[in-house]
Chains A and B, each alone.
Chain A
Amino acid sequence: MAATVTGTDRLIDATMGGGPGSRDGNGFHKNGGGGAEDGHPLRFSPARYRIGVWVAISSILMLFVALSSSYIVRSASGDDWRPIVMPKVLWFSTAVILVSSFTMEVSRRSLKAFNDAGYGRWLAITLILGLGFLVSQLLAWRQLVRQGVYMSSNPHSSFFYLFTAAHGLHLFGGILALGYLVLRTTRKRDTVESELKRLGAAEAATIYWHFMDGLWVALFLLLFFWK
């Protein structure tokens, strides 16, 4: 049975709280997010990507919280906790990822200001910086291996390799997303919908990128400045 489409005037009833547009007795807006007008095609709300990325971030964060808790517990459980000496290249890693957050912001704001060229350019720069970060991580690994420090050497080194690998993997996912966005700058955009999608995606990618940055800083501090 299809819902009857009625005129809007009958629907608004502030006291009984009937119909769309008004609040219900609990103060909730009666509209669903992204809901549609009667008789019009379904709307797409770019909030979808933003919500999605925050949901994904909370999940990824839980993974790192679990690993970090394990790190802290493990540091107290055995008698073999000997923190490795930080490979100096990690300062470079940190600087690169911080700068890349900045360039990502510039890119997003360019898009918002309808500066397509700027958007694409700074997006590409961010992607290259991201790759630079990953390369510096591999250099750090190489440095440690040369010193004979492997994953199984001691618990701190285990966590070092694990954290950098897990973070790097998720960052690589972000790089793939950036790559996809860069490719999209070359495609023709002809509808309002696809323009909104692009904005939404860029915003979501930016949030994710900042999260990866913050996560790196937190891990860096945990590994080398805690205890």
Chain B
Amino acid sequence: MAETHAEVHRHPAPTGFIRKYIFSLDHKVIGIQYILLALTAVLVGMIMSVLMRVNLSWPGSHIKILETLFPTGAPGGVMSAEFYLSLVTMHGTIMVFFVLTTAPQGGFGNYFLPIQIGAEDMAFPVLNMMSFWVTLVGFLVLLTAIFAEGNQAIGAWFAKLGESAWAGGSGTVGPIGGWTGYAPLSALGKVAGPGQGAGVSLWIISIAIFCVGSLLGALNFITTLLNMRTRGMSLMRMPLTCWAWFTTAVLALLSFPVLLGGGILLLLDRIAGTSFFVPGNLYVSGSLVPLHNGGSPLLWQHLFWFFGHPEVYIAILPGMGATSHILSTFARKPIFGYRAMVFAIFAIGMLGFFVWGHHMFISGMSPYSAVAFSILTLSIGVPSAIKTFNWLGTLWGAKIRFTTPMLFAIGFVSVFVAGGITGLVLGQTSLDFFFHDTYFVTAHFHLVMGVASIFGMFAATYFWFPKMFGRMMNETLGKLHFWITFLGVYAIFVPFHAMGMLGMPRRYAQFNEYEFLKNSKGLVTFVTVAAIITVAIQIVFYFNLVWSLFWGKKASDNPWEATTLEWTTATPPPHDNFAGHVPVVYRGPYEFSVPGAPNDYVMQTEPEGIEVSTRLGEISGNGGDGHRH
């Protein structure tokens, strides 16, 4: 069919509080909504982690607030083992889904992808709005799990839906199977332990809802990027943030349906008497389980990790994009090896689909497939290394401005290296004999997900806050936030490796049962103190956000002297992003310190005619607007 184009009636900006700020179709508002959700979720997740640390360091502590809120799970304010495990589960679930899979993509991506490619909005604004609200509903359902298990009355109400799958009120704050929810523990219902009734069922439903929200978002990102780039914005002129959001969306598109499928099967095993994951002849808590037969617990693991591995790249890729972008901006230098960076993003994304078995080396699956997964896993280290080299290359010969976003971007490189490099250890089958399910694993994924990814979000926040809200964030508070957090996260997570070296298993409510763990006491206490300080300092960040909204220094349209399209438009951007004007792009996104140019930055919209001396002082690489040298 011949492609024709039409004029579009520009829709007037919405009026009324509800249409402007609640049920808004504007990608900018939706982006902020996602960020607010993430800021709330991360607070809950951090509080849970501090409670966990206190329990591990000083078992038997009386925590007054627990006694009031959860008298069954924490009698006398002393956390029970099952209460601890429910914290582990909810901490992981909340952080991975409602923080790492919302803010980087749904938050900043929603806000800035359309602007950075010169579009008016996302391709499907209604779907975009729905994606946020569906995600929020998912979060509310997850919070319900806390109360369904934590509160007797609510738990009893849920029990009416079915004793086995829906009994609640066990006193925990949710299910106790970890965010990975392995079957059959998660499939058997109440008989498998406290928290495994209503807690698990609500958890599954929450995640299923989240899957749908995520898929709606991914659909939008991909279509928008492919269909709505403005004139001159070729793929190879897009900022690396856009490449990252695009690849992340593709990963989400293809991995979340698998989790959804697995979740449906798990729920059916719980409520419909099916046996997808539950074998027969189980003897649980003193009696035989007659209902199931022939299911495969490994099948759950395959489905979960086929999703789970791409998920961790979903969590980190936007941060990598933001880091590249911010490093280049404040180094006043083009990104080193733009094309290699794009290739690396793709390679990481694609390879990410072929390595899920490295979570399952000792699961009982075929040891031959373990070998294949292991070799593929170490291969993923290569594109990650390329990115690291290129970040260093970007900083070499630079003229670095140490603003707060830059500090966090540099911090990202540091913690990503620290966390990623231990993947070389964990990815080997022979070493997994020792390290599987120990704190060495927890060290690895916290450094990459819980730190690097969060640093990407911090960098993005400090960087884009002026554009979003028209005011600068306070630099002094920002630097204070950075320094304590940077030192703090290393203090927390590097010792985790040492605990892993001792053989310390994950998800243990206490460490006092085993002699081989007795030398861990000092480490455990040290980490808890560091964690309390690091979590506490985040108050400065929250305070800075709120204070700057009202009293921050007013921001110009381009306070950072950056080059991409969001800095060509007003601060904050108008409803249609470019005030009726259509941006035209003439060059690549990282034209800094161009010899002969009047400023040390040239915006993407700056037309040809600027004298560009392409030979002087330049090494081979990609040209500023994508051409090869």
Contacts and interface: CB of A to CB of B under 8 A. Distances in A.
Interface of A: 1-6, 10-11, 13, 16-20, 24-26, 28-48, 51-52, 55-56, 58-60, 62-63, 65-67, 69-70, 73-74, 77-81, 112, 151-152, 155, 158, 162, 166, 191-193, 195-196, 199, 203
Given A25-B627, A59-B257, A77 B299 contact: yes
Contact of A1 (B10, B219, B306, B568): B568
A113 to B, nearest CB: 12
A172 B23 CA distance: 26
A203 B4 CA distance: 14
B234 interface: yes
B341 to A, nearest CB: 14
Contacts of B625: 16-18, 24
A11 B261 CA distance: 51
23 contacts: A1-B605, A3-B568, A16-B625, A24-B627, A25-B623, A28-B235, A34-B228, A35-B232, A42-B120, A43-B6, A44-B6, A48-B227, A51-B222, A58-B253, A59-B215, A66-B262, A77-B299, A78-B296, A81-B294, A112-B1, A151-B272, A152-B274, A158-B272
Given A32-B228, A55-B219, A80-B294, A196 B124 contact: no
Given A18-B625, A44-B5, A155-B294, A70 B215 contact: no
Contact of B257 (A20, A31, A60): A60
B259 to A, nearest CB: 8
Nearest to A48: B227
A192 to B, nearest CB: 4
A17 B557 CA distance: 29
B232 A155 contact: no
A197 to B, nearest CB: 8
Nearest to B558: A1
Interface string B225-259: 01111111111110000000000000001111110
B295 A41 contact: no
Contacts of B622: 25
Given A3-B605, A78-B294, A42 B232 contact: no
Contacts of B607: 3-4, 6, 10-11, 19
Contacts of A34: 5, 227-229
A196 B6 contact: yes
Contacts of A18: 586-587, 608, 625
A51 B223 contact: yes
Contacts of A112: 1
A4 B607 CA distance: 7
Given A34-B228, A35-B232, A77 B295 contact: yes
Nearest to B581: A2
Interface string B333-357: 0000001000000000000000000
Contact of B274 (A48, A60, A158): A158
Most chain B CB within a 10 A radius of its CB, from A4, A59, A67, A158: A59
A63 B229 contact: no
B268 A151 contact: yes
B549 interface: no
Nearest to B629: A25
Q: How large is the interface on B (under 10, 10 to 19, 20 to 34, 35 or more residues)?
A: 35 or more
A136 B242 CA distance: 46
Contact of B5 (A5, A45, A67): A45
Nearest to B224: A48
Nearest to A158: B274
A70 B230 contact: no
Nearest to A44: B8
A156 to B, nearest CB: 11
Contacts of A43: 5-8
A45 B231 contact: no
Interface stretch (B60-68, B275-283, B465-473, B514-522): B275-283
A78 B295 contact: yes
Contacts of A16: 608, 625, 627
Interface string B116-134: 0110100110000000000
The 7 A-B pairs of least Cβ separation, nearest first, read A78-B294, A32-B229, A25-B627, A152-B273, A3-B605, A66-B261, A63-B257
Contacts of B260: 63, 66
Contacts of A47: 3, 227
Interface string B263-301: 011001000111110011000000000010111100100
A28 to B, nearest CB: 5
A78 B3 contact: no
B583 interface: yes
Interface in B1-31: 1, 3-10
A151 B269 CA distance: 10
B582 A36 contact: yes
Given A59-B253, A80-B293, A24 B120 contact: no
Nearest to B297: A77
A202 B228 CA distance: 20
B557 A191 contact: no
B280 to A, nearest CB: 7
Given A51-B227, A191-B9, A31 B234 contact: yes
Nearest to A3: B605
B626 A70 contact: no
Given A4-B607, A24-B234, A203-B1, A55 B228 contact: no
A74 to B, nearest CB: 6
B489 interface: no
Contact of B232 (A30, A44, A70, A73): A30
Interface in B307-327: none
Contacts of B261: 63, 66-67, 70
A45 B237 CA distance: 21
A26 B231 CA distance: 17
B141 to A, nearest CB: 20
